[in-house]
């Protein structure tokens, strides 16, 4: 009888211990599942924020590209105007030789090609 009782005690102990282990296992499973869900939610939020930042930066870059293109177009128009103005000034500041048609600078008194006197 004593042996039977002691076996029973051991069985009870093992049973109680395995129930505690099962409880702990369930608890750990729940904790882990909850933690994984929280982490996934946090990651999804971060990805959303990151996406919003990327889109915002992309809009800024697009706006800057448009502005840069406008500035380049304006600069091109200005340089074209400057070029035309310089060409007109070049024409104003030359004296065409009546003899050889050479384009002398405006301050020349004689043609540097043929020596013909140039009118003032
Ligand atoms: Zn000449």
Please write down the HEC assignment for all residues of 33-66: HHHHHHHHHHHHHHHHHHHHHHHHHHHHHHHHHH
For residue 110, the CA-to-ligand 1 centroid distance in Å is: 8
Say how many Å lie between the CA of residue 85 and the centre of ligand 1: 26
How many angstroms separate the alpha carbon of residue 86 from the centre of ligand 1?
24
Asked if residue 27 belongs to a domain, the reply is yes
Give the range of the structural domain holding residue 21, as residue numbers without chain letter. 2-92
Q: Compute the distance between CA of residue 98 and CA of residue 114 in angstroms, rounded to an integer.
A: 10
In a domain, 120, yes or no: no
Distance 83 CA to ligand 1 centre (A): 27
Phi/psi for 117 (5° steps) reads -65, 135
Domain count of the fold of the chain: 1
Local confidence band at 2 (pLDDT 50, 70, 90 cut-offs): low
Compute, in angstroms, the gap from residue 103 CA to the centroid of ligand 1: 8
Q: Within a domain: residue 83? A: yes
Alpha-carbon gap, residue 83 to 90, rounded angstroms: 10
The answer to the question of residue 118 being in a domain is: no
111: tokens are 């043609």
Q: Is residue 34 part of a domain?
A: yes
- 27-71 residue pLDDT tens: 999 999 999 999 999 999 999 999 999 999 999 999 999 999 999
C-beta separation of 104 from 95 below 8 A: yes
Question: What pLDDT does residue 80 have?
Answer: 95
Q: Which residue has the tokens 């882990």?
A: 32
The answer to the question of residue 19 being in a domain is yes
Over range 91-120, report the average pLDDT: 90
Ligand 1 geometric centre to CA of 107 (Å): 14
68 in a structural domain: yes
pTM across the whole model: 0.43
Report CA(88)–ligand 1 centroid distance (Å).
22
Q: Please check whether residue 111 is in contact with residue 97, taking contact to mean a CB–CB distance below 8 angstroms.
A: yes
């Amino acid at each position: 009888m004593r042996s039977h009782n002691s076996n029973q005690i051991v069985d009870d102990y093992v049973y109680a211990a395995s129930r505690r282990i099962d409880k702990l296992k369930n608890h750990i499973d729940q904790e882990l599942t909850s933690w994984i869900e929280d982490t996934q939610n946090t990651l999804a939020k971060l990805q959303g924020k990151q996406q919003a930042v990327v889109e915002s930066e992309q809009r800024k870059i697009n706006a800057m590209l448009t502005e840069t293109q406008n500035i380049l177009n304006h600069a091109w128009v200005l340089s074209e105007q400057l070029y035309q103005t310089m060409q007109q000034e070049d024409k104003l500041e030359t004296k065409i030789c009546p003899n050889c048609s050479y384009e002398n600078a405006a301050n020349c008194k004689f043609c540097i090609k043929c020596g013909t006197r140039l009118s003032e």
